[in-house]
Structure 1
Amino acid sequence: MQTAMITGAAGGLGSAIADALAPTHTLLLAGRPSDRLDALAARLGAPTWPLDLGDADSIDAASEVLTDLDVLVHNAGVSYPGRVGESNVDEWRATFGVNVIGAVALTLALLPALRSARGQVIFINSGAGMNASPGLASYSASKFALRSFADSLRADEPTLRVTSVHPGRIDTEMQRDLIAYEEREYVPEQFLSAQTVAAVVAQAVNTPPDAHVHEIVVRPR
C-alpha cells in the first residue's frame, strides 16, 4: 500500500482527506500536536507526524528520517481576512511563511523520497489562487505564489505528478471566520462540504499512472 502524508490533518478538510485516502493508503497525519490530531490518528490507526510549517528547522528535523513517501498532500494553510489597507506586514509574513515557504521547505525536504517513488504532490490551493478575492489580500497573494510553485515543480521534476486543487469556499472553521469578518450570516449549504473536496482529492491521487492531472477547479453548485 502506498504512503501518503497530509499536512494540516487535524482540520476539517485535512481530516476529510485522511478519511478519503485511508482505504487506499498508509497515512502520515502531519500537523501541530493537538487533541484533534490524536483523536483522528486513533480513529484511523495512523501515526501522527509533528510538524510546524512556520518553523523551517522543525520541517527539516521532521523530514530527515522519512525515506519512503508516495503522496504529499499540502493542505495546511492560514488566512488573515483583511483588505490591503487593513493588512500589516506581520500578517503577510505569517501567511507566506506557512502557505508558501512552509510548503516549499517541506517539498524540498521530501523531494528525494518523492523522486524515488515517482510520486505525487497535491496542493490544496483556492479559488483565490486564480482570482483575487476582496478582503483576502495576503491569502490570495500566497495562493497565487503556491500555484506558481506547483507549476515550477511540475516543470522541473518530470517524474512527479503535481496537481493544484482550486476549490471554492468550503464549510470549515476558516470559512466561518471569513464570513464573520464579512459580517454576513453563515449558511453552510452555500459552501462545498469538506467531504466533497476530499473525494475530488482522492480521485486525483488515485488517477491511473498513465495520466497526469495538472489542475482541478471545483465550485459549489
Structure 2
Amino acid sequence: MADRPLALVTGATRGIGAAVAEALAPTHRLLLGGRDVDALHERARALPHARPWAVDLTDPDALREACSALGSLDVLVHSAGLARLGSVAESQAAVWRANLEVNLVAVAELTRLTLPLLRAARGHVVFLNSGQGLAARAGWGPYAASKFAVRAYADALRAEEESGGLRVTSVYPGRTDTEMQQAVVSHEGGDYAPEKYLRPESVAAAVATAVNAGPDAHLTELTIRPRPVR
C-alpha cells in the first residue's frame, strides 16, 4: 500500500483527532501522533495501514528527531490542542504561555520541519481550529488568542505556499462532544448534554472532504456548527 498517500494526524488517540484518522483510513496510510504510547499502539491496531508516531510536540529535540526520520509526507492534520480557560483579568502569564506553546508554537514548528516533504508532495496541511478562532467569548481569552494566532499562521502559510501547490485548510468546528468539551463544561459549571454538540465524526468528515477534494479544488476554510437533531 505504499502507493497510498501518507497522512500524519496529531492528537490521534481521542476526540476529533481519532475521528479524523478513522475518516482518512480508507484512502491513506496513517501516522498517529500523540504522547500516550500504549493508546497509540491500540489505535493503530484498530486501523489499516496505521502506525504510531509517539512524540511530545513541545519537546524541540524529540520533535526534530521524529521529523528527520520521515521520508515522505502528503498530509499533515493538526488536531492536538490544549484549552486553558480564564478571564483576561485573572489569567496569569503561565496560562497564556501554555495555550500558545501547544496550540501555536508546536504547530508552527511541526509544520516547519515537515514543510520540505509537504512541498515535494504538493501536499496538504489542515488546521483544526475552533469557533474561538473566529470570535472570542468572555472567559476564553487565552485559548481564543492562541486560536486566532493559528488562524493567522494558516493564512500566512497559504499565502506563501499556495503557488507552489500546497493546500492549506482551516477548519472551525463549533463545540464538539469530546473529553476536552466535558472539561470545559465542568469549568463553566454547567450540565453536560452530548446531544447539544457536534459529533467528532462530523468534523472528521469535513476534514476528509477537504483532503480528498480533486486536484483542481482548494477548500481553504470550513466552518461547522452544531445543528439540533430531532
TM-score (norm 1): 0.97
* Whole-angstrom distance in 2 between the partners of 1:139 and 1:68: 32
The residue type equivalent to 1:12 in the other structure is G
Aligned to 1:210: 216
Aligned to 1:151: 155
8 Å CA contact 1:6–1:28 kept in 2: the answer is yes
1:54 aligned to which of 51, 54, 58: 58
The residue type equivalent to 1:31 in the other structure is G
1:136 aligned to which of 121, 135, 140: 140
Aligned to 1:160: 166
Runs of at least 5 residues in structure 1 that lack an aligned partner in the other structure? none
User: How many residues are aligned here?
Assistant: 221
Runs of at least 5 residues in structure 2 that lack an aligned partner in the other structure? none
Deviation digits for residues 176-201 of structure 1 (CA, Å, limit 9, x no counterpart): 11101111110000000001101111
Deviation digits for residues 148-184 of structure 1 (CA, Å, limit 9, x no counterpart): 0000000001220000000000000110111011111
Aligned to 2:192: 186
Aligned to 1:2: 5
8 Å CA contact 1:73–1:124 kept in 2: the answer is yes
The residue type equivalent to 2:186 in the other structure is A
Deviation digits for residues 100-157 of structure 1 (CA, Å, limit 9, x no counterpart): 0000000000001000000000000000000002221111000000000000000001
- State whether structure 2 residue 126 is matched by structure 1 residue 122: yes
Deviation digits for residues 23-75 of structure 1 (CA, Å, limit 9, x no counterpart): 00000001113432221011114110112121122211110121211000000
8 Å CA contact 2:103–2:146 kept in 1: the answer is yes
The residue type equivalent to 1:122 in the other structure is V
* Whole-angstrom distance in 1 between the partners of 2:153 and 2:138: 23
Aligned to 1:77: 81
* Whole-angstrom distance in 2 between the partners of 1:77 and 1:3: 22
The residue type equivalent to 2:59 in the other structure is D
2:28 aligned to which of 11, 25, 28: 25
SS in 1 for 2:89: helix
* Whole-angstrom distance in 2 between the partners of 1:118 and 1:37: 28
- State whether structure 2 residue 207 is matched by structure 1 residue 201: yes
* Whole-angstrom distance in 2 between the partners of 1:51 and 1:125: 21
8 Å CA contact 1:54–1:94 kept in 2: the answer is no
8 Å CA contact 2:133–2:145 kept in 1: the answer is yes
The residue type equivalent to 2:17 in the other structure is G
* Whole-angstrom distance in 2 between the partners of 1:155 and 1:57: 29
8 Å CA contact 1:53–1:97 kept in 2: the answer is no
1:96 aligned to which of 90, 93, 100: 100
